[in-house]
Structures are given as C-alpha cells and as structure tokens.
Amino acid sequence: MPLYDAIIVGAGVAGMAAASALAKQGLRIAIIDRGAPDVLKPGECLMADALKIMKRLGLSEDFIAANHRSLQAYHVNWGQQSSYQRHLLTSPAGAGWIVNRQHFDGMLLKHCQQQQVEMFWQNSLQAIARDASGYWQLQLKHPEKLCLSARFVLDASGRARAFTRHLGINSQRLDKMVATSCHIHSVSELSAATATIASDYQGWWYYAKYSDTRGCLCYFSDGDLPLPDGPKTLLAQANKQSLLAPLLADARPMTSTFKRSAAYSSALQNCIGENWLALGDAAASFDPLSSYGMTSALSGAFYASQALKRYFNNQPQYLQTYQQLMQKNFLAYLDKRYQQYEQVAGYNSLFWQRRQQGALA
Ligand SMILES: Cc1cc2nc3c(=O)[nH]c(=O)nc-3n(C[C@H](O)[C@H](O)[C@H](O)COP(=O)(O)OP(=O)(O)OC[C@H]3O[C@@H](n4cnc5c(N)ncnc54)[C@H](O)[C@@H]3O)c2cc1C
C-alpha cells in the first residue's frame, strides 16, 4: 500500500494550492478527487489581496502570465436604491480579476504535476481507518478498490466535507443558500471589467464575463424557495432585471453547464485534529456575495502548508495557530455579511427577512 506524508481529499483551489506548496517542501503528496480534472467549478471574481498569497505560494508569475480579465468595479443594484458602481481601483487593495476558471485550475494542476503530486481522479473517498502506527488508511471507491496510507490528511473537499464527515465533526450552517448558474455565450463587451450584482424579490443575481465570448450568470436564493428550473428560465428571469437585460441582449446559455450548487455559509466546529486539518470551503464556506471563497481557499492552503511544515518538525502547536486564524477570519466575515444584507430595504420576502434578522434560517 503506498504511504504518503499527506493525502489531500479534493482537487479544488484549496487542495491543489496546498498540494503543490507541501510537495515543494519535499513531502510525498497525493490528491484524490471524485471528479475529473476538466470539471468547470464556480467562482470567477478574485480580489487583489489574492496576489500576495499567490506570491507566497509561488503561483503569481503564472497567474499574471495567464492575463485574466481585470475586475475594476462592481455594478450594483442593491435593494430599492438606484444603481451605482463600486470601484475597486480606488480601494486600498486595487483592481481584482475575473478569472477564467479553466485556465486558473489548469495552472494549479500544472504546479501539482511539476512537484510530482500523485493525482487520483474519479476516486471518491469511501471509508477511513487508522492502523496500529496511527497512519490514516483511505479507502477509495471508483474505478477499482484502492487503499492509500498517509501520516496526515487534509480535507479540501469543499462543502461535501468528505473526510471530517467520516470523523463526525459538526459544521454550523448559517443559511440555506443555493446557486443556480449557467455559463453564457456572449460577445457583448458592455460589462467589460465589471461584475454585476442585482437584488431580486427572493434573492440576488450575479453576472461576470470572464473571456471574450463567455460569462457566468448566477441566481442565489434559498433552497426552499422557488428556483429557475432550467437555462431558459434562468436567462428569461435575468432579462427582467434592468441592469442585466442590456448585458445579456446577445446571450445564449451553454445548456450543459446549467447547475445547482450549495452556496450557504458554514464553519466547521474544529478545523484541526489528530493528524488532520480542513481548509477551503471544507473548513469555512462564504456567501459568494463576499467574493472571498477563492482567496480564503488560497490563504488556507498557504497557512496549512506552513503549519504542517512545523508539525512535521515536532512543533504541533502550529496547528492551533492555524485554527485560530481560520476562526478569526470567519468572525470578521460574519460582520461584513450582516452589513451587506442589512442595506437592502423594500422587499417583504422570506429571503431578505431571514438575512436582515441575522437569524439562523
Ligand atoms: C455559484 C458560486 C459562485 C461563486 N463565486 C465566487 C467568486 O466570484 N469569487 C470567490 O472568491 N468565490 C466564489 N465562490 C466560492 C468559491 O467557488 C469557493 O469558495 C472555492 O472554489 C472553494 O474551493 P475549495 O477548493 O475549498 O472547494 P471546491 O472547489 O468545492 O473543491 C472541492 C473538491 O473536492 C472534491 N470532492 C468532494 N467530495 C469528495 C469525495 N467524497 N472524495 C473525493 N473528492 C471529493 C470535489 O470534486 C471538488 O473538486 C462561488 C461559489 C459558488 C457556488
């Protein structure tokens, strides 16, 4: 049975960034993922702060070279106020990016391959156990039964929390938010360098164009409220929004990309334990309104790799420091989330009532 220093469950932003950082330290790393490498993941808007973290992870040169589109402003229609532009260029951190996820995830994969990270695609985590020496044994499902062994496990499996769920670690969920999304074919450049956000009676909309011909359209609401049931309905409902309609005039939905994904905010009770830690959405997940999920996944990868380096050098207390940092970030986020939703007035609907009361929905 192959023995690794660490196995990472999940090849998203958090898992791949952590894998290449750990492998650069000379550790033997494997990643398992239930999906294929070319699955298009959600999340395009990346804040400027992320570049500092990518520098520390050794990713910034390739990131800059990929020429992702600049994100200079959000065009916002929030509640019954008139619409406005929130400029990022004048903010302390500066402009961000609207990333092409295919290229971004491809860059992370390239770094893993260069560092000889072993990738097990289309292998879902099925069972976990520990042997007499305390090593983790991970049983994988598809295509053949395979068992991998490691000194340490990192759960980077997103909201699925595939590893910590097996351990019975609880996660506190703050709401029931669900994203209904579809990639769009459009050559219109009316929304160049901006992302659009517009509130609606039972949720809110997001649109960003990440290449000359493609953009991503999303509607966010709660899972128990009415949701668009297909790409045509999604586009038709978006076209009722005064900010979105002109941008989508030539839009054609790429129907095979239509999907629903969980988008709720949550935090794991503990994101460290005996020979394991969690990072990215598996540790704490954020409302996409914050555009913070990918930055958090990258910074989680950096701090987890630093904590693990010290842990393997007999300084286990650094895992506690990692946990404290994750908890502090989540508390700061909660304040901002509440402030954003508090600004919206004029809708007498469950979605907005739940958020404005700050109550657990
Ligand atoms: C619609 C939407 C829009 C968003 N927009 C933005 C945005 O504009 N900006 C931003 O910063 N953030 C955004 N986010 C959040 C952002 O996408 C996430 O925070 C970020 O991608 C999390 O990365 P991750 O690596 O932690 O998890 P994920 O990207 O979820 O990766 C987890 C991986 O684990 C794998 N996995 C799951 N279960 C198992 C299992 N049992 N066995 C093996 N593998 C498993 C999955 O296949 C997946 O590849 C958005 C989220 C949504 C839903």
Count of C-beta atoms within a 10 Å radius of residue 356: 15
Question: pLDDT at position 90, please?
Answer: 74
Ligand 1: residue of 41, 164, 227, 326 to mutate (most ligand atoms within 8 A of CB) is 41
Strand partners, 272: 277
Which residue's C-alpha comes closest to atom 29 of ligand 1? 12
Listed in sequence order, the DSSP H helices in the chain are 13-24, 50-56, 60-65, 101-114, 162-167, 231-238, 293-312, 317-342, 350-356
Question: pLDDT at position 360, please?
Answer: 42
Ligand 1: residue of 119, 291, 294 to mutate (most ligand atoms within 8 A of CB) is 294
- Residue 254 near residue 182, CB atoms below 8 Å: yes
Which residue's C-alpha comes closest to atom 16 of ligand 1? 293
Question: pLDDT at position 274, please?
Answer: 94
Q: Is the CB of 179 under 6 A from ligand 1?
A: yes
Q: Is the CB of 12 under 6 A from ligand 1?
A: yes
Q: Is the CB of 294 under 6 A from ligand 1?
A: yes
Count of C-beta atoms within a 10 Å radius of residue 323: 20
Entry pTM:
0.96
Q: Is the CB of 10 under 6 A from ligand 1?
A: yes
- Residue 176 near residue 222, CB atoms below 8 Å: yes
Question: pLDDT at position 92, please?
Answer: 79
Question: pLDDT at position 361, please?
Answer: 41
- Residues of the chain with pLDDT below 50 are 359-361
**Length of the chain (residues):** 361
Which residue's C-alpha comes closest to atom 18 of ligand 1? 293
Q: Is the CB of 218 under 6 A from ligand 1?
A: yes
Q: Give domain 3-67+102-174+266-338's CATH architecture.
A: 3-Layer(bba) Sandwich (3.50)
